[in-house]
Amino acid sequence: MIAKLTGRLDQTGEDWAVIDVNGVGYELDVPMSTFYLLPATGAEARRLTISRPTRALFHQNHLYVLSHEPASLHVFSLPNLTPVTTVPLSRGPSSLAVHSDRLYVTASLSNHLDILSLEDPARPKPVERLNLAPSPTWPVGLSPTSVTSDPATNRLYIACSDANAIAVYDAAGRRLSGYIPTAWYPTFALPLPRRGLLVLNGKGERSYPNPQGPNPTVHRTMTPQPPSPIQYTPLIQLGSARLLTNLTPAAVQKHSRAYAKLTPPITPAPAGPLPPIRHVVYIMKENRTYDQVLGDLPAGNGDPSLCLFPENITPNHHKLAREFVLFDNFYVNADVSSEGW
What does pLDDT average to over the chain?
A: 86
Q: How far apart are CA 139 and CA 179, in angstroms?
A: 17
At residue 341, the pLDDT reads 42
Sheet strands side by side (includes 196-201)? 186-192, 196-201, 240-244
CA nearest neighbour of 155 among 209, 213, 211, 113: 113
| Terminal Cα-to-Cα distance of the chain (whole angstroms) | 32
Q: How far apart are CA 87 and CA 247, in angstroms?
A: 34
Is the alpha carbon torsion for 283, 289, 295, 299 positive or negative? Answer: positive
Span 284-293, pLDDT tens digits? 767 678 888 9
pLDDT over threshold 70, residue 171: yes
At residue 35, the pLDDT reads 56
CB 117 within 8 A of CB 124: yes
Q: Is 251 helix (H, G, I), strand (E, B) or coil?
A: helix
Domains in the chain, CATH or no CATH each: 1-49 (2.40.50.140), 51-262 (2.130.10.10), 290-339 (no CATH)
Residue 108's identity, in one-letter code, is S
Q: How far apart are CA 26 and CA 9, in angstroms?
A: 10
Asked if the bond preceding 227 is cis, omega within 30° of 0, the reply is yes
Of the candidate ranges 231-240, 284-293, 326-335, the one whose mean pLDDT is the lowest: 326-335
Span 81-116, pLDDT tens digits? 889 999 999 999 999 999 999 999 999 999 999 999
